[in-house]
Amino acid sequence: MNRLKLLLVFFWLYCLCSPASAQEDKVIKVSGTGIVTVKPDMATIYVQVSRVDRNIVSAKKAVDENVAKIQEMLLDSGVKPDDINTSSLGVYEERGGQFHREGGNVASPEGYRVSRDIVSEIHDLARLDVILDNALKLGANSIQGIRFLSGDIEKLKATALEKASDDAHRKAEFLAKKFGCGLGPARQIEYDYKGQAQPFPVAAGALRSSEASFLLGTIEITATVNVVYQMQ
């Protein structure tokens, strides 16, 4: 008798829970996309100053002097101190070849290359060409890259996310109406962003012979939202 009662209890629980479990499995899965494009209003430039010399102290001194000149030029051009980073320093040994010194090219079996990178944010793009040209004149050996950006990136990402969310919800409503069911609450939400401004590599020699030749294009921010809705 006790065994029969136990079986009846399990059967009652199964009948009670099964409809809810079946209902839980009825979902609508959708993906929404939101895209925002904007013209860049700032740029990050990557400038390098390097010198090779048999005397490592002389090489570093020459590099430090040129970096100081470029930093002063950036400040005079309206770049804020917080937007300039000159903290990196690289030193390694080179063997063979020609090594440039103040007195000319001197052949040597070995020497030391000292390099420093200058990373700076330029908020006035109208001065970008002049700043790069002046950096080269003051001793920069190479412009390693330029990254065009927007100062409103977080606002743009929020706008793209809102568009993606609306897109996902519209799709869910359409599908629910199309197949004759109700749209319940969201059970699971995932989102992601993609699309960043890419570095624009520049050869130092090309900048010396060109005038204001940058085509800025646009920055595209794409947000994706994946939502699982409960069907009713």
User: What would the pLDDT profile of 2-39 be if each residue is shown by its tens digit?
Assistant: 565 554 445 545 555 545 444 557 999 999 999 999 98
- Check residue 216 and give its pLDDT: 72
Q: Is residue 95 part of a domain?
A: yes
Q: Is residue 215 part of a domain?
A: no
Contacts of 106 (CB under 8 A, 6+ apart): 54, 98, 99
For residue 56, the enclosing domain spans 44-146
Taking each continuous run of H as one helix and of E as one strand, the counts in the chain are 5, 11
Average pLDDT over residues 148-171: 94
Integer Cα distance of 18 and 127 in angstroms: 69
* Alpha-carbon distances of 46 from 50, 123, 179, 219, rounded to whole Å: 13, 15, 56, 19
Integer Cα distance of 92 and 60 in angstroms: 11
Q: Judge contact between 199 and 148, C-beta under 8 A.
A: no
Read off the pLDDT band of 217 (50, 70, 90).
confident
At 46-77, the pLDDT tens digits run 999 999 998 999 999 999 999 999 999 999 99
Task: Identify the CATH number of the domain in which residue 102 sits.
Answer: 3.30.70.2970
The DSSP bridge partners found for residue 49 are 116
How many C-beta neighbours within 10 Å does residue 209 have? 7
Integer Cα distance of 188 and 182 in angstroms: 17
The two structure tokens encoding residue 47: 């400038």
Q: Is residue 159 part of a domain?
A: no
Q: Judge contact between 38 and 113, C-beta under 8 A.
A: no
Integer Cα distance of 152 and 40 in angstroms: 9
The two structure tokens encoding residue 191: 């989102």
Q: What is the pTM of this model?
A: 0.67
Specify the length of the chain in residues: 232
Least confident of 74-78, 119-123, 138-142, 205-209: 205-209
Q: Is residue 125 part of a domain?
A: yes
Read off the pLDDT band of 104 (50, 70, 90).
low
Q: Is residue 8 part of a domain?
A: no
Q: Is the pLDDT of residue 197 over 80?
A: no
DSSP letter (8 states) at residue 77: T
Q: Is residue 62 part of a domain?
A: yes
Quickly list DSSP for 122-153.
Answer: ES-GGGHHHHHHHHHHTT--EEEEEEEE-TTH
Read off the pLDDT band of 194 (50, 70, 90).
confident
The count of domains in the chain is: 1
Bin 224: left if φ > 0, else alpha if -120 < ψ < 50, else beta: beta
Q: Is residue 170 part of a domain?
A: no
Q: Is residue 114 part of a domain?
A: yes
